[in-house]
Amino acid sequence: DTEVTQTPKHLVMGMTNKKSLKCEQHMGHRAMYWYKQKAKKPPELMFVYSYEKLSINESVPSRFSPECPNSSLLNLHLHALQPEDSALYLCASSQDSRAGGPQNEQFFGPGTRLTVL
Amino acid sequence: KNQVEQSPQSLIILEGKNCTLQCNYTVSPFSNLRWYKQDTGRGPVSLTIMTFSENTKSNGRYTATLDADTKQSSLHITASQLSDSASYICVVSAIPNFGNEKLTFGTGTRLTIIP
């Protein structure tokens, strides 16, 4: 199974709502990532989890709160978002964020299209 | 500052024709270079990964080249098909000492294949 799944596919929320994005992989990968991608732009790294511990936070506002309940799951909790947070949110996983080379290829999920009204 | 630049920004070609996309990078310390294909509204899918010692790598109709001396890479698509219409993103990986792998993404080339 070389698939990263993300739910929901689409999410529309108001600025006062609390919602969560979910990501799952069963490849035995120990690194998981959240990216944000605006239209016609490359993905921007938000968070990296390595062995279920947060290892990179790219100065993301606190209205985004990541959580890694176990090695297969990654959540992104959303609260009090702004309209400019509307974007495609991508989850990815790889064998180990501290390694490099072809064996550490990042596999991306299909993304969640988030719209904040 | 690590940077990855791609050209052209967009490209339109007839079905069946070949095309070549370019990627120039200034990333240190270099670990590997990847080409991804991304359909609109979907996650990127890996096409090729090349390390410092590899000059060329193929994946079906896709052939990537790497010149580590000039820090340039290209992606050649042969006999294009309508399904090749997508954004192609060049991604360069760096491994800082005692740090996590860091990816630098290019802005992509938007390829459109017309019948």
Q: What does the pLDDT look like over A59-99, one tens digit per residue?
A: 899 999 999 999 999 999 999 999 999 999 999 999 876 66
Q: How far is B24 from chain A (nearest CA, A)?
A: 16
Mean pLDDT of B44-73: 94
CA angle, corner A64, sides to A61 and A65, nearest 5? Answer: 120
The C-alpha R_g of chain A, in whole angstroms, comes to 14
Token output for B108: 């992509």
Considering only CA atoms, which of A79, A53, A52, A51 is closest in space to residue A65? A79
Mean pLDDT of B9-28: 96
Contact flag A100-B101 (C-beta cutoff 8 Å): yes
Interface test with B, best of A4, A23, A108 (most B CBs within 10 A): A108
Q: Which of B31, B46, B107 has its CB closest to that of A42?
A: B107
Please report the residues numbered 6 through 35 in chain B whose beta carbons come closer than 8 angstroms to any beta carbon of chain A.
31-32, 34
Q: How far lies B38's CA from each of A37, A75, A109, A111, B35, in Å?
A: 12, 23, 11, 11, 10
Q: Which residue of A has its CA nearest to B46?
A: A107
Amino acid identity of A115?
T
Gap between the terminal Cα atoms of chain B: 41
Mean pLDDT of A38-51: 92
Confidence of residue A49 (pLDDT cuts 50, 70, 90): very high
Considering only CA atoms, which of B36, B32, B7 is closest in space to residue B19? B7
pLDDT at position A106: 87
Output DSSP code: residue A103: G
